[in-house]
Structure 1
């Protein structure tokens, strides 16, 4: 099976449709699939539901899809760095399904494992748990959360071989593995593609069976929050 494509647009060809659900990896601006996001923006696909820890920042990452009004609904755990996200949500232009961070990661992982739902204590007795099924186990209450099954996953890794086995670098190994797992089709962008056998099998973070399409590209190294100390 050919997995390596020449560009993000080529890798997305035939997969995009209005109203689809996309799982996007990354945390803040760390490990985000920026090339694939840009290609979705250029394709003009709209009414998207996007499952991602957050929505980038204004003008970068998923923020560009918010600005172009291509996202209808976000499934997120953190929304604090994006003014356009806040404006659209408070103005009733954007749907938001808020998730505790661990719950969101587990919902993605569950989808990738074929698990339709699971019970968690997190959120019980709060707004998160309203309207959800509750069960009692050993005297503790748990709420039912559904696994996320996305039409397409878009993720970012550091290095991969041509079969899709990949390595994430440092904290980019955050939401990328579970996001990659839960899509019917997973597209991964990387900084370097190597031949099979060049990656140490013990260092593989995600096996290529989860990855269907692969691109290599240049990526921007933005810093979301720059904190410095005054000069001595």
Structure 2
């Protein structure tokens, strides 16, 4: 179990707070976490953390222009499948919702400790396996760069079927990835009763990253039979 435990940073002084003091919530959401300011996470600087925060505020504002009910309270249970520094959850912070931040076990940087220090909920998971959802399902699932991360690990079909399983009917999926992976995903979900809309990056169509919005539909009794008989 030691590999799955996120330890507190060590301190040599009994009077010091291990890793550094944390501000009360919600200020700590956007304050630089002690693990970042102390350089405990390789490759994550204070400047990179602050840029990531601004970037996800920008991305979320772009999402809201397409999906205008993100702030309405309609999405109570939210999951970020590739949470990074937790900036998506920090941007969407609302008393009407909570976000499960998932740190893929194959991610290049382990930032779960940063997520915890921001006052957010997080967990490790390998998306080639089933996710334990008991006792809840999710209203909104966000996947940033997830399919590029797993393209050589397991099938997109398996990941998408798992997403479908944990998503409530009329729940929403937002997938952000490069255009090649988005088109592969779009071709699969067309057979999953998801209605989809693909949009360009907020900086314009020349950016190779695209966003796919999808809504899981109710399965209507008898619809399969009428479709197959045509």
Same fold, TM-score > 0.5, yes or no: no
Relative to the length of structure 1, the TM-score reads 0.36
Relative to the length of structure 2, the TM-score reads 0.37
Q: Which has the higher strand share?
A: 1
Higher gyration radius (CA): 2
Q: Which has the higher helix share?
A: 2
